[in-house]
Amino acid sequence: MIDENLPIEEVRAIFAKDQFATMAGCTIVEASKHHAVCEMTLADLHRNAQGGIMGGAIFTLADFALAVSVNVGQPDTVAIDNNIRYLSAPKGEKLIATARMDKAGRSLAFVTVTVTDDTGRDVAVMTATGFRKA
């Protein structure tokens, strides 16, 4: 369990071990029990052959925000099911993922992650189920 009272710098240091997400440019803005906000500044490496932002980049950011929201101040939790709905192509320079816990049960956690860009455009919505390793 990651202590919910840790300063944000220490939470960031813990999640820096998530090398795929950090190498993709995911950063933690806010982290608290049942809530997280993460960002990704968009770069050429996030683009597909047609010049759009890859769905995998959007998913990676959403999954990273999910991980932060279910592990700060709670038992170790891993995702067992994710469903993402892509709503619009991003138009801005940054993606913002906001994760909120819908229900925290004894062995399961249910989370919704919304992804927007820095222009306010709705980009994607992820719903996920996490298994709490007790």
33, 4 contact by CB (below 8 A): yes
pLDDT at 20 over 80: yes
Give pTM, 2 decimals. 0.95
Give residue-wise pLDDT tens across range 23-65.
999 999 999 999 999 999 999 999 999 999 999 999 999 999 9
Banded model confidence at residue 1, pLDDT cuts 50, 70, 90: confident
Give residue-wise pLDDT tens across range 72-129.
999 999 999 999 999 999 999 999 999 999 999 999 999 999 999 999 999 999 999 9
Q: What is the DSSP letter of 54?
A: P
Q: Long-range CB contacts (< 8 A, 24+ apart) of 22-25?
A: 24/57, 24/60, 24/61
Structure token pair of residue 105:
């049960």
Element (H, E) at 63: helix 55-71
